[in-house]
């Protein structure tokens, strides 16, 4: 991805989040100089990877495959003394090109995906086979806001603002925008998040993108704090 694309996506995500009257913590709005000035204070932010995360999952097609994520709180899978035993994120999808996060499951993380507003999101689910492949045949049992549903594999499930779906470990999911009135804002409340070890993609996918530095970054991404 180009840095211009990342900077623009973060600015647009901030607008979309403001549009639903959701407020992020101060550090979401720090500019690069502020980050550099406070370098000595951000150990915890760095350890549990709070902050901005813009990725195209290595697709080189951010318009269609990718999202802007902001991790508000998190802990560490390997050091329970660090952070909190849960995670909260905001995820913003570009509605114009119906961005999606590609098909994946988590070995450890249970997550609630919540439509926070600005449009309708859609999600497809598949069970995983014993060897971790996509099971295209078996029906999926899933809870949405406390109610149990049985859905067909790959069936499009629409989630409207305020509603959510609970995704358990080893449940394959692909989700994004159905239609938006501006970029769609999604919340994620989950167990501790570890993007280096806990994502299993159905197809070869990179969790973090290679970045072409064609302009200065407006702020670091959550995997770039060492560069400050
Ligand atoms: Fe997920």
Q: Where are the chain's structural domains?
A: 3-227
CATH architecture for segment(s) 3-227 = Sandwich (2.60)
Instruction: Identify the segments of the chain with pLDDT beneath 70.
Output: none
Distance CA 76, CA 172 (A): 23
How confident is the model at residue 199, as a pLDDT? 94
**Cα 197 to middle of ligand 1, angstroms:** 12
| pLDDT number for residue 182 | 85
Ligand 1 centroid to Cα of residue 210, in Å, is 21
**SS3 call for 17:** helix
Residue 181 confidence (pLDDT): 83
Taking CA atoms, 196 is separated from 104, 153, 207, in Å, by 13, 27, 8
* 106 CA from centroid of ligand 1 (Å): 6
Q: What is the model's pLDDT at position 87?
A: 98
- Residue 104 Cα to ligand 1 midpoint, Å, equals 6
CA of residue 218 to ligand 1 center, whole Å: 27
The predicted model scores a pTM of 0.96
Q: Ligand 1 center to residue 171 CA distance, Å?
A: 9
CA 188–ligand 1 middle distance (angstroms):
9
Model pLDDT, residue 179? 87
Give distance in angstroms: CA of 29 to centre of ligand 1: 25
Q: How far is the CA of 126 from the centre of ligand 1 (A)?
A: 13
**CA of 128 relative to ligand 1 center, distance in Å:** 14
Q: For 111-150, write each residue's pLDDT tens digit.
A: 999 999 999 999 999 999 999 999 999 999 999 999 999 9
Measured in angstroms, how far is the CA atom of residue 27 from the centroid of ligand 1?
Answer: 24
CA of 194 to the centre of ligand 1 (A): 11
């Amino acid at each position: 991805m180009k840095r211009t694309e990342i900077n623009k996506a973060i600015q647009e995500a901030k607008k979309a989040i403001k549009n639903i009257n959701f407020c992020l913590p101060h550090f979401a709005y720090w500019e690069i100089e502020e980050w550099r000035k406070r370098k000595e204070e951000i150990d915890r932010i760095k350890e549990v990877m709070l902050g901005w995360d813009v990725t195209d999952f290595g697709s080189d097609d951010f318009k269609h495959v990718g999202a802007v994520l902001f991790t508000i709180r998190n802990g560490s899978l390997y050091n329970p003394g660090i952070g909190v035993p849960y995670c909260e994120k905001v995820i913003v999808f570009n509605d114009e090109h119906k961005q999606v996060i590609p098909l994946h499951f988590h070995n450890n993380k249970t997550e609630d995906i919540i439509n926070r507003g600005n449009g309708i999101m859609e999600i497809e689910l598949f069970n995983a086979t014993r060897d971790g492949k996509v099971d295209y045949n078996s029906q999926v049992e899933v809870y949405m806001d406390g109610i149990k549903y049985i859905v067909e594999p790959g069936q499009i499930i629409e989630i409207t603002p305020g509603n959510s779906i609970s995704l358990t470990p080893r449940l394959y999911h692909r989700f994004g925008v159905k239609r938006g009135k501006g970029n769609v804002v999604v919340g994620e409340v989950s167990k501790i998040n570890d993007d280096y070890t806990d994502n299993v993609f159905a197809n070869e996918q990179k969790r973090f993108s290679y970045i072409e530095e064609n302009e200065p970054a407006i702020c670091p991404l959550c995997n770039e704090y060492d560069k400050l």
